[in-house]
Structure 1
Amino acid sequence: MNRRLGVTVVLAVAVVAGCGGEETKAAAPTPTAKASKDPLTSCVDQLVYWGTENLRGAPGQEGDYQHMGLTADKYDALRKIQKNARVIMAKGKLPPTWLQEQSEAACRKIVATPKPSNTVGGWPQ
């Protein structure tokens, strides 16, 4: 039994240390992981990130706002931006700054909208 425990500890240490000398890269955090940004910047980053992912056709991402870390307001804005982007893309190429500009305009409205004070953890009381 002690030998089994010793082998388990050695394997666990090897996994944590990155056995084989290869560097392991952590997955890049999505904008939802950065809480230190101001609300406008955070919102814009989220909409640009998820808009880019969804418009390029990343599998399994579109449609789950909770997975994306978005509020209902942000998700509604994202869907509207994506719908308009697809119309433009059907006629040609999307201008490079279009998604950023649309996200900023939407987020300015979202951030300026008063939030209800009778909520706990985002849920009405």
Structure 2
Amino acid sequence: MGSGPAPSRVTAAWATTTLLAAVLLGCGGGVGPSADAPTPAGTPPQRLCADLITHWAGVILDAADGTDAVGLDYQAMGLSGDQYEILRAVLDGARAVRRDEGAPAARAFGAREAVRRCAERYRSGTPTDGPWR
């Protein structure tokens, strides 16, 4: 009935990933938005960072210890290299909190720490020292 083969899942996944990356990176005319400038979706970069870190920290914390929780590298998660370092630091602290105080406290810690670290990272604008920084 159609005029050609249906798109493969890989093509559809690639298109979705590309669109998500474009939105998250604020693709447009310049190098990137300033820390105070909203992205095309209207969310400042430090908030996007905190939301991404909080999401992935929760996913990884919910997975069993010792397993690859998501099977994705940092770029596939939509993170820059610096954001991935923030995620790793947040997870280190959250795992300690989970051991001592339980999962809900670990998630709350992760969210607070993501907001704090992302605000610090973007306090003087967006990074300009590399394509994934």
User: Any conservation in 1 of the 2:81–2:132 contact (CA below 8 Å)?
Assistant: no
1:54 corresponds, among 57, 60, 63, to 60
Instruction: Write out the 4+ residue segments of structure 1 that deviate beyond 6 Å after TM superposition.
Output: none
User: Any conservation in 1 of the 2:59–2:69 contact (CA below 8 Å)?
Assistant: no
Instruction: Note the C-alpha offset of 1:67.
Output: 0.8
- Which amino acid in the other structure matches residue 46 of structure 2? L
Instruction: Name which one, 1 or 2, has greater alpha-carbon Rg.
Output: 1
Shift of the 62–116 alpha-carbon distance from structure 1 to 2, 3 Å rule, reads: same
CA distance in 2, matches of 1:112, 1:75: 17
Shift of the 123–57 alpha-carbon distance from structure 1 to 2, 3 Å rule, reads: closer
> Who is 1:116 aligned against?
128
1:67 corresponds, among 76, 84, 95, to 76
1:9 corresponds, among 2, 5, 18, to 2
Gaps of 5+ in 2: 6-19, 25-39
CA distance in 2, matches of 1:123, 1:65: 10
User: Any conservation in 2 of the 1:81–1:103 contact (CA below 8 Å)?
Assistant: yes
SS of equivalent residue, structure 1 residue 65: coil
**TM-score normalised per structure 2:** 0.58
Q: Spell out, residue by residue over 1:73-119, the C-alpha distance to the aligned partner (whole angstroms, 9 max, x if none).
A: 110010011011111111231425322211100101111255236x5
> Who is 1:102 aligned against?
113
**TM-score normalised per structure 1:** 0.61
Q: What root-mean-square deviation, in Å, do the aligned CA atoms of Structure 1 and Structure 2 show?
A: 3.3
Instruction: Note the C-alpha offset of 1:63.
Output: 6.1
> Who is 1:92 aligned against?
101
